[in-house]
Amino acid sequence: MEDLPEALVTEIHKRITRTSDLNSLSLVSKQLYKIEGNQRGAIRVGSGLCTATEALTSLCPRFTNLQKLEIDYSGWILEHGNQLDNKGLFVFSSHCSSLIDLTLSFCSYIDDSGLGCLVHCKKLVSLRLNSAPKITSYGHLSVAVGCTSLSALHLIDCEKIDNVEWLEYLGRDGSLEELVVKNCKGINHHDFLKFGSGWMKLQKFEFERKRGIYDCVPGDVVYDSSYDAHSMDIYDFCCESLKDLRLAHIKTWPEVGLRAVLGKCKALEKLCLEYVQALNDNDMIALSRSCSNLKSISLWLNLQRYSSDISYCDTRTSFTDNNLYALALNCPMLQIVDLSFTGCAADWPSEIGFTQQGFLVLIQSCPIRVLVLNTANFFDDEGMKALSSSPYLEILELILCEAVTDAGMCFIG
């Protein structure tokens, strides 16, 4: 090995992908140790990174071309030693000038001053923060101002972030292509309307509110099933580049908020709505009319009240067959359908706004490859018979669909 030209050894090294093999290779000789350090583009460290600052001080000079770093302290306890702190964050941000992708998970020792060190990472494109209890909006503002190449930002369980000045700044800058915010209780879905012109470039957006114990239980609020939030363009923003949209556990009543996005996504390919309250057919019809490229839709629905008349109990899921007809008519590329119904009794099919007739219109109009039905009490053996003639169906998942019997399974067989 010592007689081989360095260029050839480097080429051999590039073909080795397993981290354990790369670690072993670096122990063979000083030459391979040096080459392995220069070529390593990504490392992942966890709770075993004791005396974190000292460890990073030795790691960073070795991996001079490091582009991706993930530090994950999930499962950490005091006996594991000190976590990465602000000083350690400064060490690697100063040495790793090529860093593009950074993920910090359960780093409870890092606060706003430490996060501010990332301004040294001028090439940083992607930042993911998962469970960062000391980080506030001020830390994010420093990142928004200093990391001018940032195009992907994930915030998960960052409970001290509330002020959205950082979001307004990123919106004016307009560089973000991917924005994911989950379980940050200081941020609500109306705040994202301040993102302004930033919506124009955004390709993936995901917002999940921190869920409560009663999120899937119908409350006392009565919703208007005829309300059309898209009849007037009350929000002046455009999201025509958005391809992937997920909204979960949010309330869109009485203020419109992110509900307005559904009528503005002309390039949308993947839609996921999980327990979004107060939506109705008008929202999905507005979306289907502008999203001819839609390929995947996931609707997780729970019971909601649509009448205040106690003598007439109109408690059902959000959408009706009109929704399915609109998708069937306007979305010819739809391939993945995931429908889940929570809290709907098997002996009360009327609690689900969809009927089998409307559902089959969708299935027979679109090239469905993947179909998932969870607690779909409107679906029975006749539906299975219709499915048996679907030419494109590859994956079928049925969960708690009690009206399907052995006879229905025989049709599929």
Would you list the DSSP string of 327-391? HHHH-TT--EEEEEEES--TT-GGGSS--HHHHHHHHHHS---EEEEES-TT--HHHHHHHTT-S
What per-residue confidence (pLDDT) applies to 269? 97
**How does pLDDT run along the chain (413 residues), one tens digit per residue?**
678 888 888 888 888 888 888 888 888 878 888 887 787 788 888 776 655 667 777 777 778 788 898 988 888 887 777 788 888 888 878 888 889 999 999 988 899 999 999 988 889 999 999 999 999 999 989 999 999 999 999 999 998 998 889 999 999 887 899 999 999 988 988 899 889 889 999 999 999 998 765 565 566 678 888 888 888 777 778 898 999 999 999 988 777 778 889 988 999 999 999 999 989 999 999 999 999 999 999 999 998 887 655 545 578 888 999 999 999 999 999 999 999 999 887 777 678 899 999 999 999 999 999 999 999 989 999 999 999 999 999 999 999 999 999 999 999 98
For residue 395, being part of any structural domain is answered with no
Query: What domain range includes position 13?
Result: 1-39
For residue 20, being part of any structural domain is answered with yes
For residue 8, being part of any structural domain is answered with yes
What per-residue confidence (pLDDT) applies to 366? 96
153 bridge partner residues: 127, 179
Separation between Cα atoms, residue 147 and residue 167, nearest integer Å:
14
Which of 301, 262, 296 shows the shortest CA–CA distance to 282? Answer: 262
First to last CA, the chain: 58
Separation between Cα atoms, residue 64 and residue 371, nearest integer Å:
47
Q: What is the CATH number of the domain that holds 25?
A: 1.20.1280
For residue 10, being part of any structural domain is answered with yes
For residue 264, being part of any structural domain is answered with no
What per-residue confidence (pLDDT) applies to 78? 78
Separation between Cα atoms, residue 322 and residue 281, nearest integer Å:
7
For residue 359, being part of any structural domain is answered with no
For residue 324, being part of any structural domain is answered with no
| Other Cβ atoms within 10 Å of 251 Cβ, number | 18
Helix (H, G, I), strand (E, B) or coil at 262: helix
For residue 109, being part of any structural domain is answered with no
What per-residue confidence (pLDDT) applies to 181? 96
Q: 197-229: per-residue pLDDT in tens?
A: 899 999 999 999 987 655 655 666 788 888 888
Which of 56, 176, 193, 196 shows the shortest CA–CA distance to 127? Answer: 176
Residue tagged 């460290």 (tokens): 45
Global model pTM greater than 0.75? yes
What per-residue confidence (pLDDT) applies to 127? 96
| Other Cβ atoms within 10 Å of 311 Cβ, number | 5
- Number of domains into which the chain is organized: 1
299 bridge partner residues: 273, 339
Separation between Cα atoms, residue 144 and residue 129, nearest integer Å:
14
Cα angle value 122/127/128 (rounded, 5°): 165
Residue 155: phi, psi to the nearest 5? -125, 115
DSSP string, 116-139: GGGGG-TT--EEEEES-TT--HHH
Helices (H), ranges, 63-164: 86-95, 112-115, 137-146
* Omega prior to 254 cis, within 30 of 0: yes
**What's the farthest any 2 CA atoms get from each other in the chain?**
90
Which of 287, 302, 392 shows the shortest CA–CA distance to 339? Answer: 302
The DSSP call for residue 187 is -
